[in-house]
Amino acid sequence: MSETKKETKEVVSIDEIMSKLSLEDQTSMKKLLYGSNYEPLELPETVMNFAKKMQFEIGSYRIISTPEQVRKARVVRMAALQTKLPLPTTAPVIEMRAAIWKRAEEAIELAAKAKVNIFCLQELWTMPYFFCTREKQPWCEFAEPAENGPTTKFLQVLARKNNMVIVSPILERDEVHSDVIWNTAVVIDNHGDVLGKHRKNHIPRNEDFNESTYYFEGNTGHEVFETEFGKIAINICYGRHHVLNWLMYGLNGAELVFNPSVEAGDFSEVIWPIEPRCAAAANSYFTCAINRVGTEVYPNEFTSGDGKPAHKDFGHCYGSTYLTAPDGTRTPALSRVNEGLLITEFDLNMCRQVKDFWCFQMDRRLEMYAERLTKATKVDYVPQIVRK
């Protein structure tokens, strides 16, 4: 694995810190931090043994909701994978991709043993996060077609074999339109067919997140993919910071919104537990925030535009993958340092139940905001400020 000495000093997780408290205090703290509508999901011993053999940390939970009298329960099991690079960043592209594929196949096999219906990988899961370097070669060779590229074909076989919907966030090469590159999530249904793709709506231009050196904002909108296991959407990484982005997925009927990401550093970790959780509560759907783990070291030094010395590492990606329910209840996160699989079972009927409780969809005043936002897009917009 591509660990450095720096990683061994990282805090493993909040839950590891809380484990030093008494059981009574642990229970109280978890209720305050996570809510009370979740419980551990017991998995077969064969699953846990396989996870141990493959060296995957497992977090397994069930979101508690009320059975309905009229509608049948729509219970699904979701899995989210967080991993680190299996080889140094200097490994040849083909070797790196093959090693990453192998690790993903092991995780999907593990998820299948746990009867998972929907599986989501982390952002740009087939490659290092090389954008920090601002270099083009050989990194751009990781880009591939979304609909019929090698990674999609690889996952189509696994989706069909395991009756599983797979969300695959990759670096897309649009060979039809001038070889343009996009940050794209491909949705493969449980029959192995490509249901569609979503391109990242918002991209960062700060610190080492030099994504605009390689591609621009996406042009596919806010698609919601209707699968046999629910209506899902993908809000890729930086889109997490934009509340209107989350809103649009809800308006289009999403029941589960994934947020596959690459995140490192103290600045983002402060808000990592907040934004996807707030989005779930505000829009009455499930969210799942997914982050990679590990410290990726590159062959050439680069600077971050902050006046500090040049360096070769992007920083520690802190994992901490978690799921939030529509009522704001969330699962404990996977660790900050280990590869892992978060498996969560929940009833999609909970989305409507929470809507009925809060009635946000009735009082959000879309027409008022639509009017003001339309005016705000004009060059002659005057802010609505009252002065003496």
Contacts 24+ apart (CB under 8 A), 93-102: 93/138, 93/141, 93/142, 96/127, 96/128, 97/126, 97/127, 97/142, 97/150, 97/151, 100/125, 100/126, 100/127, 101/126, 101/151, 101/154
What is the assigned CATH class of domain 5-376? alpha beta
By three-state DSSP, how is residue 156 classified? helix
Determine contact, residues 353/320, Cβ cutoff 8 Å.
no
Give the mean model confidence (pLDDT) for residues 217-227.
98
Q: What pLDDT, in 10s, does the model give residues 329-373?
A: 999 999 999 999 999 999 999 999 999 999 999 999 999 999 999
Task: Identify the pLDDT of residue 8.
Answer: 54
Average pLDDT, the chain: 95
pLDDT tens string 6-64: 445 789 999 999 999 999 999 999 999 999 999 999 999 999 999 999 999 999 999 99
pTM above 0.75, yes or no: yes
Active site members = 123, 200, 237
Contact 73, 352 (CB under 8 A): no
Q: What is the DSSP letter of 73?
A: P
Strand blocks (E) in the chain: 38-40, 57-63, 75-82, 118-120, 165-174, 180-188, 194-199, 225-227, 230-234, 256-261, 286-291, 293-302, 311-318, 322-324, 340-347
Question: Which among 195, 256, 196 has a CA at the least distance from the CA of 221?
Answer: 196
Q: Would you list the domain boundaries of the chain?
A: 5-376
C-alpha triplet 352, 327, 188: angle, nearest 5°: 65
DSSP 8-70: GGS---HHHHHTTS-HHHHHHHHHHHH-SSEEE----HHHHHHHHHHT-EEEEEEE--PPPSS
CA 190 to chain centre: 20
Q: What is the pLDDT of residues 374-385, one digit of tens each?
A: 999 999 999 999
* Distance, CA of 184 to CA of 219 (rounded, Å): 10
Which stretches of 219-262 are DSSP H helices? Answer: 243-251
Which distant-in-sequence residues (6+ apart) come within 8 Å of 364 by Cβ?
none
| 119 vs 155: CA distance, rounded Å | 11
For residue range 34-47, what is the model confidence (pLDDT) as tens digits?
999 999 999 999 99
